[in-house]
């Protein structure tokens, strides 16, 4: 019997959540005032949770490491947010969104959680519109939608290429309202460095004030981790520079199981790496695949000509282009899910068809869409026999309206104009499906410790569909956690304030201080990034788009050696009691190194390919991922016992009652 209890309510799938909500323990309003909750993180998941909990009457303390909650990484999300509204009348429904998500995740997520996500998705849009989030609208004043990969309906709501920004500012405004009321105490520029357990329950945290360097003890009746994903373990990713695993990892070390750490999403459309100095990669939103066609030349001589600049991409004749996604996957074409699109790009580049100097880029071309839209627009405007230039100009206008800011962003970085020449793109690390294990109530294996948003593992299985992370973050924060946390807190109404003088706080604070001092006093020679880049290289080469038992075994040994090197030779300048970004980085990289090892171990353990996890030993003849449902239809939840090498695997078997397990086909 597994030690993991997912607490999935009984009853038919479609009734589970309603039934659960109707029977969950409630805390009476007068008692909520006696209860404190800490929310670590103010991205979509954290801001929405903090605001909602405060509205309900709890006393909330929220933390973020940026100078303002509005700057959380969620701000950078571009393309959109899914919801089963069926406004386009194209056959969408709660079930269809549920089904697409389960299938997209390659059957490695929990049915009950995913169904609930689909169920509350529509309320998210209503809530955001009520807050004044300016979603895109059509000429009739109604909300507009676009399509994302892996689905055949149009259910993605958006605000140009700044959907995350608009949603986060909506949640930030709700949070600001509660801060003004004194119901949320906001601690900006604070980093959580440990969870404090009292009597086996999460009762507080240790945080460092990043301005003064002071170490603070903060107590509460429950702690919510909404600290985001860990893609930066690869050093280069589309995540913000500060995104990190520290909060989640510290919780893991204190007893929270870490689930499916190796499930990483490599996003197919990012601006390719241009040099070793590169500090991060920039995403070009998946929404571009609505109108952009992906191709490489069919002939190697054309590839060579493009690389040496003797030919321009527009000079390659139509019949000499290989629109390889359309060729391999006629029914989904350019809109196959991310893992499939990324692997297909790698396959072409590995065969020598990459179109930039490093050989790691493919084209994303808008010329067909520009001409198509141009023709329609000319007709709408009653222009008879428009010239090609006229059509192109009109088409560029339409495309500019849809993706203007993304095109601009691309041009600023690369100095190329994507209206005139195709974009060059390549896959990059983008999102982490794995995370802290949680039950149906979003509670971790530590009582009183909850995890929401990208920090948990719950809804996306082995691959996340586009526009579903924003949906999940807000679902967790607005509509799920505020209910489910009551189940736990109902027993705390008589507990009273938790004292920060308890020996448990004392011990946790001391451990944090010791680690910080160790870095400050280390007599090393290399900056933190030197080690972080090395880690990133190991992870990308061995635990990236293609993995093998041999490579992973080597990676584990390499990471263990890197850990020694790091602790012996890192140099952290500055002092403890001041703003010290190098010290912050050192603390984060220490945890990334541990996590990297666990990711490789998890990937090695999973002898199958599914979603973003592609083991070269397990593929079909056509090179598609080959799942093993008999042996691996489970969530791998790791228990920390002193070092990643000694972590113990617990399995939560996944039961599929509503959907039939099939090989994913997008052909």
Partner 1 sequence: MNLTLKVWRQNGANDKGRLESYQVKDISPDMSFLEMMDVLNDQIIVEGKDPVAFDHDCREGICGSCSMFINGEAHGPGRGITTCQLHMRTFNDGDTIYIEPWRAAAFPVIKDLVTDRSAFDRIIQAGGYVSVNTSGNTQDANALPIPKDDADKAFDAATCIGCGACVATCKNSSAMLFVSAKVSQLALLPQGDPERTTRALHMVEQMDKEGFGNCTNTGACEVECPKEISLENIARLNREYLRASVNPDK
Ligand X SMILES: Cc1cc2nc3c(=O)[nH]c(=O)nc-3n(C[C@H](O)[C@H](O)[C@H](O)COP(=O)(O)OP(=O)(O)OC[C@H]3O[C@@H](n4cnc5c(N)ncnc54)[C@H](O)[C@@H]3O)c2cc1C
Q: How many residues sit close enough to partner 1 to count as binding (CB under 8 A)?
A: 82
Does position 265 bind ligand X by CB under 6 A? Answer: no
Specify the residue for token string 């006696």.
34
Closest CA to 544 of 96, 301, 233, 222: 233
Question: How far apart are CB 366 and ligand X at their closest, in Å?
Answer: 19
Decide which of partner 1, ligand X, none touches 578; Cβ closer than 5 to 8 Å per partner kind. Answer: partner 1
188 binds, among ligand X, partner 1, none (CB under 5 to 8 A by kind): partner 1
Q: Other C-beta atoms within 10 Å of 510: how many?
A: 12
Are residues 438 and 458 in contact, defined by beta-carbon separation less than 8 angstroms? yes
Sheet strands side by side (includes 258-259): 435-436, 258-259, 634-639, 648-653
Selected from 34, 442, 469, 559, the binder of ligand X by CB under 6 A is 469
Q: In angstroms, what is the minimal distance from the CB of 202 to ligand X? A: 15
Name the DSSP class of 272. P
Using CB under 6 A as the binding rule, whether residue 246 contacts ligand X is answered as yes
The stretch near partner 1 (CB under 8 A) out of 367-375, 407-415, 442-450, 538-546 is 407-415
Residues 587-646 that bind ligand X (CB under 6 A): none
Q: How far is the CB of 137 from ligand X (least distance, A)?
A: 18
> Applying CB under 8 A, which part among 135-143, 244-252, 463-471, 559-567 lies near partner 1?
135-143
Region binding ligand X by CB under 6 A among candidate stretches 127-135, 238-246, 376-384, 548-556: 238-246
Is 132 a binding residue for partner 1 by CB under 8 A? The answer is: yes
CA distances (Å), 387 to each of 239, 371, 399, 486, in order?
Answer: 43, 11, 18, 65
Binding to partner 1 in span 29-68, by CB under 8 A: 48, 51-52, 55, 66-68
Contact (CB, 8 A) for 459 and 435: no
Binding ligand X by CB under 6 A: which of 4, 128, 251, 470? 470
**Strand boundaries in 247-287, DSSP class E:** 258-259, 264-270
The listed partner (partner 1, ligand X, none) that binds 143, CB under 5 to 8 Å by sort, is: partner 1
Task: Kindly state the tokens that stand for 256.
Answer: 């929270």
Q: Is 385 exposed, middle or buried (0-12, 13-18, 19+ CB in 10 A)?
A: exposed
- Is the Cβ of residue 234 or residue 437 nearer to partner 1 in the bound state? 234
For residue 471, give both structure tokens. 């949906």
Structure tokens at 167: 């949603």
Told to check if 544 binds ligand X by CB under 6 A, we report no
Please indicate whether residue 96 is annotated as part of the active site: no
Give counts: helices (H), strands (E), the chain.
19, 19
* Size of the chain in residues: 667
Kindly report the backbone phi and psi dihedral angles of residue 182, in degrees, each rounded to the nearest multiple of 5, phi listed first.
80, 5
What residues from 409 to 468 belong to the interface with ligand X (CB under 6 A)?
Answer: 430-431, 453-455, 467-468
Q: Which of 38, 125, 270, 598 binds partner 1 (CB under 8 A)?
A: 125
Applying the rule CB under 8 A, the residues between 566 and 625 that interact with partner 1 are 571, 573-574, 578-579, 581-582
CA distance linking residue 627 with residue 403, whole number of Å: 36
Q: With binding defined as CB under 8 A, does residue 397 bind partner 1?
A: no
Contacts of 400 (CB under 8 A, 6+ apart): 407, 419
CB hemisphere CA count around 88 (13 angstroms)? 18
Q: Which of 249, 403, 478, 666 binds partner 1 (CB under 8 A)?
A: 478
We find the least distance from the C-beta atom of residue 163 to ligand X, in angstroms, to be: 5
Catalytic pick among 108, 203, 338, 343: 338
Q: Which is nearer to ligand X, 243 or 542 (CB)?
A: 243
Can you give the C-alpha Rg of the chain in angstroms? 25
Q: Which does 613 bind (CB under 5 to 8 A by kind): ligand X, partner 1, none?
A: none
The structure tokens listed for 109 are: 């997520």
Residues making contact with ligand X (CB under 6 A): 40-46, 63-66, 72-74, 76-81, 163-164, 190-192, 226-229, 238-239, 243-244, 246-247, 283, 430-431, 453-455, 467-470, 473
Annotated catalytic residues are 338
């Amino acid at each position: 019997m597994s030690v993991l209890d997912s607490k999935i309510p009984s009853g038919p799938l479609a009734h589970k959540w309603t039934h659960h909500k109707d029977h969950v323990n409630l805390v009476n309003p007068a008692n909520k005032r006696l209860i404190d909750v800490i929310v670590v993180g103010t991205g979509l998941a954290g801001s929405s949770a903090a605001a909602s909990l405060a509205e309900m009457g709890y006393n909330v303390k929220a933390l973020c490491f940026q100078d303002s909650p509005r700057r959380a990484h969620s701000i950078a999300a571009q393309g959109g947010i899914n919801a089963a509204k069926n406004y386009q009348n194209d056959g969408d429904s709660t079930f269809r969104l549920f089904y697409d998500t389960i299938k997209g995740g390659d059957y490695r997520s929990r049915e009950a959680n995913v169904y609930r996500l689909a169920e509350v998705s529509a309320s998210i849009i209503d809530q955001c519109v009520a807050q004044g989030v300016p979603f895109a609208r059509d000429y009739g004043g109604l909300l507009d939608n676009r399509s994302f990969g892996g689905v055949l309906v149009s259910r993605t709501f958006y605000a140009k290429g700044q959907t995350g920004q608009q949603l986060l500012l909506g949640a930030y405004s709700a949070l600001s309202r509660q801060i003004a009321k004194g119901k949320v105490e906001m601690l900006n520029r604070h980093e959580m460095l440990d969870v404090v357990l009292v009597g086996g329950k999460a009762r507080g945290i240790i945080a460092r004030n990043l301005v003064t360097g002071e170490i603070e003890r903060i107590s509460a009746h429950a702690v919510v981790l909404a600290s985001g994903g860990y893609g930066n373990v690869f050093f280069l990713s589309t995540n913000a520079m500060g995104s990190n695993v520290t909060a989640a990892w510290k919780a893991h070390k204190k007893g929270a199981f870490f689930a499916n750490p190796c499930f990483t999403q490599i996003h197919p459309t990012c601006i390719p790496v241009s040099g070793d100095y590169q500090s991060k990669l920039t995403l070009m939103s998946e929404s571009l695949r609505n109108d952009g066609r992906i191709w490489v030349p069919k002939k190697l001589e054309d590839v060579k000509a493009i690389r040496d600049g003797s030919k321009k991409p527009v000079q390659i004749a139509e019949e000499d282009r290989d629109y390889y996604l359309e060729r391999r996957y006629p029914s989904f074409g350019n809109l196959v899910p991310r893992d499939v699109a990324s692997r297909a790009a790698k396959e072409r580049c590995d065969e020598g068809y990459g179109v930039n100097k490093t050989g790691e880029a493919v084209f994303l071309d808008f010329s067909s869409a520009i001409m198509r839209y141009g023709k329609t627009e000319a007709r709408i405007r009653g222009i008879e026999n428009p010239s090609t230039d006229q059509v192109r100009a009109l088409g560029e206008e339409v495309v500019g309206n849809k993706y203007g800011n993304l095109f601009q962003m691309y041009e600023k970085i690369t100095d190329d104009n994507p209206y005139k020449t195709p974009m060059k793109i390549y896959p990059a690390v983008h999102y982490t499906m794995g995370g802290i294990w949680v039950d149906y109530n979003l509670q971790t294996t530590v009582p009183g410790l909850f995890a929401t948003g990208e920090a948990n593992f719950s809804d996306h299985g082995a691959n996340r569909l586009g526009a579903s992370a924003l949906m999940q973050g807000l679902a967790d924060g607005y509509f799920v956690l505020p209910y489910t946390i009551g189940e736990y807190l109902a027993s705390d109404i008589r507990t009273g304030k938790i004292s920060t003088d308890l020996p448990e706080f004392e011990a946790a604070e001391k451990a944090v201080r010791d680690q910080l001092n160790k870095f400050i006093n280390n007599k090393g020679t290399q900056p933190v990034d030197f080690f972080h880049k090395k880690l990133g290289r190991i992870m990308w080469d061995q635990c990236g788009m293609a993995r093998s038992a041999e490579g992973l075994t080597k990676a584990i040994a390499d990471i263990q050696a890197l850990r020694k090197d790091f602790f012996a030779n890192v140099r952290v300048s500055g002092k403890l009691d001041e703003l010290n970004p190098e010290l912050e980085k050192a603390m984060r990289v220490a945890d990334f190194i541990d996590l990297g090892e666990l990711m490789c171990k998890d990937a090695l353990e999973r002898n199958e390919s599914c979603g973003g996890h592609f083991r070269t030993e397990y593929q079909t003849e056509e090179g598609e991922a080959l799942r093993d449902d008999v042996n691996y239809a489970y969530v791998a939840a790791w228990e920390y016992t002193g070092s990643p090498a000694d972590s113990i695997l617990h399995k939560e078997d996944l039961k599929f009652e509503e959907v039939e397990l099939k090989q994913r086909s997008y052909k």
